[in-house]
Amino acid sequence: MRLGFKSSPGCVLLSVDYSQIELRIVAHMAGDEAMLNAFRAGQDIHAATAAAINGIALEEVTKEQRRHAKAINFGLIYGMSAFGLSRSTDLTLGEAENFVKGYFENFPGVKSYLDNIRILATRQGYVETMLGRRRYFPNLANPVNVNMKNREEREAINAPIQGTAADIMKLALIHLPPALSAKKLQAKILLQVHDELVLDVPESELADTAKVVQSVMSEAYKLSIPLLTEARSGINWGSMQVLHD
Active site residue 17: yes
Give the DSSP letter of residue 3: G
Give the DSSP letter of residue 8: P
Q: Which of 78, 84, 82, 102 is nearest to 94 (CA)?
A: 82
Terminal Cα distance for the chain, rounded: 29
What residue spans of the chain are helical by DSSP H? 21-30, 33-40, 45-54, 63-77, 82-88, 93-106, 108-124, 146-182, 206-218
Q: Of 17, 32, 167, 195, which is the active-site residue? A: 17
Over its C-alpha atoms, the chain yields an Rg (Å, rounded) of 20
Active site residues: 17
